[in-house]
Amino acid sequence: MQAIAMFNNKGGVGKTTLVCNLVSYLSLKMGKKILVIDADPQCNTTINILPEDQFEKFYYQKEGFTIYDILRPLHRGQGYSEKINFYHVENFGVDFLIGDPRLSLMEDLLSNDWKDATSGEPRGLRTTLVFSDLLSKCEGYDYVFFDMGPSLGSLNRAILLACDFFLTPMSLDIFSLLALENIGQTMDTWKRRFTQGIENSIDPEVLEGLKQEFNIKFVGYVTQQYTAKVVDGVKRPVKAFDKILEELPAKLHNELIDKINKEFKDIQYELGSIPNLHSLIPISQSAHKPIFNLEYKDGVVGAHFYKVEEFSKIIHKISIQLLKNVEAMS
């Protein structure tokens, strides 16, 4: 099992669209057994993939198990949750741990215990490793994907610490480039402080079976939401984005690859590019289906069919390159 975090310090980069379609393609078209964990308190992935009757059951009737229930026992001083329920989502072909807006209430718990973790205190380390414990119970899957919010807070730190890889969706703007600086620098600091905590651990036995290294790797990026035009039969971004595209590879190497993936400099980190999909996004959201499986009955008409076919080819390429990179770095 490999755990992959969908992460960018900047919001509005098309993360939810990418994660929902990528995990579904890996499952439905490539036969992988996938678990998706919605760890973003905004719960956009939950809204996108859950059928409306299930969404109503979980959010309005307050029935069912969510990611908040993973952390609630820790908050009460009861240790890790023994009960874990995943839900199968037929349209996307994945198992799912439902998101919960109350997850943001756990930021203080994770933040306060981080200081103790870096000092080697058992409680602090156990709290910090809560998602490592969760992943230890997910060995039956090929891949576990975390959808995450756009922050460098304590919640995302605990998730990234537990994961093997992170994938970065990017919009083509200057702020995405600036966000890369924060990611590389912050992860380097987290790694040093966590390693210090493990080395100073007062009671090593409490860490048995849990991940004790901060060794996450950057597995690649996907650029999204650009306006495309056809040049010599090839679809390319319009000129307004050319400068950012030119700067992106060097920026990625300086801020992420050189700091996090020093031994993997020859990997093809650009997994693919997704142009603006316009009305296909709301159609997909309304149908609660991945874009590559949209049909006439879902509202696809005319030129939409060409766009669906085009997107199928794009997400296929992204999926193939992602699996190649994971294999090369494992």
Q: Could you give the CA distance from residue 324 to residue 84 in angstroms, rounded to a whole number?
A: 31
Please write the tens of the pLDDT for every residue from 229-280: 555 666 555 565 666 667 777 778 888 888 888 788 789 999 998 887 878 9
- CATH number, domain of 181, equals 3.40.50.300
Q: Could you give the CA distance from residue 312 to residue 129 in angstroms, rounded to a whole number?
A: 37
Q: Note the pLDDT of residue 230.
A: 58
Within a 10 A sphere around the Cβ of 311, how many other Cβ atoms? 21
Provide DSSP, 99-125: --GGGGGGHHHHHHHHHHHHTT-HHHH
Domain coverage including residue 122 = 2-329
Q: Note the pLDDT of residue 263.
A: 82
pTM over 0.85: yes
**Number of domains observed in the structure of the chain:** 1
Q: Could you give the CA distance from residue 311 to residue 273 in angstroms, rounded to a whole number?
A: 10
Q: What angle do CA 26, 152, 188 make, to 5 degrees?
A: 90
pLDDT at 197 over 90: yes
pLDDT at 317 over 60: yes
Please write the tens of the pLDDT for every residue from 19-69: 999 999 999 999 999 999 999 999 999 999 998 888 877 777 677 899 999
